[in-house]
Amino acid sequence: MTVEFTLPPALEAHEPPEARGRSRDGVRLLLSRRATGEVTHHGFRDLPALLDPGDLLVVNTSATLPAAVRLDRIGIHFSTPVPSADDDRLWLVELRRLTGKASAPYSGGSPGEWIPLPGGATLTLVGRRTRRLWEARLSTEVVPYLRRHGVPIRYGYVRRDWPAAAYQTAFAHDRSSGGAEMPSAARPFTPELVTRLVSGGVHIAPITLHTGVASPEAGEPPYAERYEVPEATAALVGHVRKRGGRVIAVGTTAVRALETSVDGSGNVRAAKGWTEHVVTPKDGVRAVDGLLTGLHEPKSSHLLMLTAIAGQDLLTATYAAALSEGYLWHEFGDVNLIVAR
């Protein structure tokens, strides 16, 4: 069980904060402390003062691909390569029916169908992988093609296209690969804020997890995604916890990568590959002491992870406060810092 609520349309962030006259780090921050049950209101620029020297922020360095290719009547969202396939042109894709400025699930398509794409490429539908995802083969290398012809995936609450740069975080560094969606909890970080954090004794360490496509209609748990926890990050997690510091994941993707990498003794180890791990209240978390995240939609599977970290009562109080105080949801919205202590 997790928090239940109704999200008013007025609390959906329709554009980046820069378009609302703010800087990237000008969003609001809601702080939730599990030890006391306290929920307090801050600006994101207050983050260095809310952390302690010796705390560790684990950030996702995945870049955001322009993973949507639009045709006249449908759009194609490229999710991830097919796990364990030898063919790097074989990807999981979602077909979306274009409806004005938004899109909806497209139920058409048949195995063997060819879909002509911009730039002379062809996408061949191989077969359905799930109810909404197809295995499909592109006639050329996927990531270079998307960088030439794709646009960032945009859902109906975002009313217009924004440049690809609006969907990159300060930590995205490898543009040769990437995920279908932005690891948006890290979006408010700026170089100046990172400097303040490091100067205050806060550690920052990388993981990589390339996200697949979400579906605003489905409310599904995430499918298998590619991840890597470097050896240096695993060692730093162990060092910080041994010295009494807090390990705080920046985004649900960082939690998923770290929790996938926990061994039988409860220690984070270097690891890479594909993860299908889903964090739930039943199993809890073993690698993290906190989470910096956006505000998630009703019935989102991410709320199970938040409940595992915050507990039912604190998460309910947090979302009640966010709703009453007019916080903004989604990737261009405000953020929530949940800490155990």
Higher pLDDT, residue 2 or 231: 231
Q: How many CB atoms lie within 10 A of CB 33?
A: 18
Contact 153, 167 (CB under 8 A): no
User: Cα–Cα distance between 264 and 262 in angstroms, integer?
Assistant: 7
pTM for this structure? 0.96
| Torsion 214-166-74-156 (CA) sign | positive
**Residue 101 pLDDT:** 72
Token pair of 106, please? 């497209």
pLDDT confidence tier of residue 218, bands split at 50, 70 and 90: low
Residues 301-335: pLDDT tens digits? 899 999 999 999 999 999 999 999 999 999 999 99
Print burial letters for 112-139: b (CB count within 10 Å at least 16), e (below 16): eeebebeeebebbbbeebeebbbbbbbe
Print burial letters for 186-219: b (CB count within 10 Å at least 16), e (below 16): bbbbbeebbeebeeeebbbbbbbbbbbbbeeeee
Q: Which CATH architecture has domain 9-64+165-339?
A: 3-Layer(aba) Sandwich (3.40)
Question: CB under 8 Å, gap of 24 or more: what pairs does 141-144 form?
Answer: 141/88, 141/89, 142/78, 142/81, 142/88, 142/89, 142/91, 143/65, 143/176, 143/177, 143/178
Residues 126-141: pLDDT tens digits? 999 988 899 999 999 9
Residues 21-71: pLDDT tens digits? 999 999 999 999 999 999 999 999 999 999 999 999 999 999 999 999 999
Where do the structural domains in the chain lie, given as residue ranges? Answer: 9-64+165-339, 68-151
